[in-house]
Amino acid sequence: MLPLLGLFFIVLTSLTVVRIGASLLELTGLSGEIASFQAISAFFGIGYTTSEAESVVNSPLRRRIITTMMIIGNVGITTSMATLILTFLDSDQKILIEKIVAILLGLIFMFFLARSKSFYSFLKHTTASFMNKNFQTFLCDYEEVLGVSKGFIISKIFVKEESWMNGKSLQELKLDKEGTLVLSISRDESIDDSLFIGVPKADTRIKADDILTCYGRAEACHCLATRLRGNDGDREHKIQIEKEKEFEKLQKLEIG
């Protein structure tokens, strides 16, 4: 039974390494979904070519994390295969069935553990604390920094021809009064070229087919993405302004 216990230990260690790697990547600014995908890809040596992969390899810190994941992954997979072979050596039929059942039960347990949000949150919190304390790295949980849990989001909004924003400048839109900031604008200047406007100015005019990167209250961002020009759009804008005023009042009460 020792090889079987060794197999479970290796699988559990591999699972923990993947989750720690994902939490480290997430703490460098990647979303949870992308961080998990890249950690799994690196550990198992899959190597999908995606735009997210380019953002990983272009960062020195993320590149070190991925490199470590690749090395540990190769060692873990090789050791797991060797231990699995040893598990089934010199076993009669009855013991063989017991081992298969034990492996299946163990894999089911590992599956639910891998999907456990509390397990991942614990590892992410522990990893961040350890790294910041011992290596003086400035890792941070961007969901916490941006207040995602408090109703704030970063979203991409595609400006349609009939959008309420089309043809207006940021100064005219007064989006800050409804709790939304435009961080950047991606604009297609031609088929082969595109224009990126970082930190757009007040006189920057929004055009159809622009892609806005916005930060603000989730409700305000969702409303802005679907708002159409006309009286209804103006009315929704006023409603969001009033909601932002109520939100600011609540914030002042919490601070006070």
What pLDDT, on a 0 to 100 scale, did the predictor assign at position 251? 77
Whether 246 has a pLDDT exceeding 60, the answer reads yes
Its domain, for residue 222, covers 148-255
* Cα(53)–Cα(57) distance, integer angstroms: 6
Instruction: Please provide the DSSP assignment of 16-74 as one string.
Output: HHHHHHHHHHHHTT--HHHHHHHHHHHHHT-----HHHHHHHTSHHHHHHHHHHHHHHH
Instruction: Report the mean per-residue pLDDT for the chain.
Output: 76
Pair 118, 178 in one domain: no
Is there a single domain that holds both residue 172 and residue 209? yes
The CA distances from residue 114 to 81, 163, 176, in Å, are: 20, 42, 41
Q: pLDDT-based confidence at 173, cuts 50/70/90?
A: very high
Establish if 140 belongs to a structural domain. no
Residue 73 is predicted with a pLDDT of 73
17 in the same domain as 118: yes
Asked if residue 141 is part of any domain, the answer here is: no
- 219 domain-assigned: yes
- What pLDDT score was predicted for residue 154? 84
Predicted TM-score (pTM) above 0.85: no
**Contacts of 12 by beta carbon, 8 Å cutoff, 6+ apart:** 110, 113
Residue 102 lies in a domain: yes
Regarding whether 248 and 182 lie in a shared domain, the answer is yes
22, two tokens: 């994902």
Residue 28 has pLDDT above 70, yes or no: yes
DSSP-derived 3-state class of residue 256? coil
Are 8 and 128 in the same domain?
yes
In a domain, 143, yes or no: no
b/e string for 86-106 if b means 16 or more Cβ within 10 A?
Answer: ebeeeeeeeeeeebeebbeeb
d(CA 69, CA 43): 5
In a domain, 233, yes or no: yes
Integer angstrom CA distances of residue 67 from 64, 95, 188: 5, 40, 36
**Residue 7 banded pLDDT, cuts 50, 70, 90:** low
In this prediction, what percent of the chain has a pLDDT beyond 90?
Answer: 24
- Statement to judge: residues 84 and 172 lie in one domain: no
pLDDT band at 192, cuts 50/70/90? very low
End-to-end CA distance of the chain: 62
Distance in angstroms (rounded) separating the CA atoms of residues 164 and 230: 7
pLDDT tens string 100-148: 777 777 767 767 776 777 877 777 777 767 766 655 455 555 555 566 6
Q: Same domain for 168 and 130? A: no
Q: How many domains does the chain have?
A: 2
Does residue 17 belong to any structural domain of this protein? yes
The predicted structure's pLDDT at residue 203: 92
- Determine contact, residues 171/209, Cβ cutoff 8 Å: no
Distance CA 216, CA 220 (A): 7
Q: Last residue of a domain, which of 134, 167, 187?
A: 134
Q: Looking at per-residue confidence, does 86 or 13 come out higher?
A: 13
User: What is the CATH number for 236?
Assistant: 3.30.70.1450
Please determine, for residue 175, whether its predicted confidence score (pLDDT) is greater than 80. Answer: yes
Q: What percent of the chain has pLDDT over 70?
A: 66
Do 167 and 98 share a domain, yes or no? no
Mean pLDDT (whole number) for 241-248: 89
Q: What would the mean pLDDT of 193-206 be, rounded to a whole number?
A: 85
The stretch 202-213 carries a mean pLDDT of: 92
Q: How far is CA 99 from the centre of its chain?
A: 38
CB 106 within 8 A of CB 10: no
pLDDT for 191 beyond 50: no
- On whether residue 237 sits in a domain, the answer given is yes
Residues 111 and 159 in one domain: no
Q: Report whether pLDDT(204) > 90.
A: yes
The pLDDT, as a whole number, for residue 142 is 56
Amino acid identity for residue 74 in this structure: N
Most confident range (mean pLDDT) of 69-73, 105-109, 218-222, 248-252 is 218-222
- The answer on 160 and 130 residing in a single domain is no
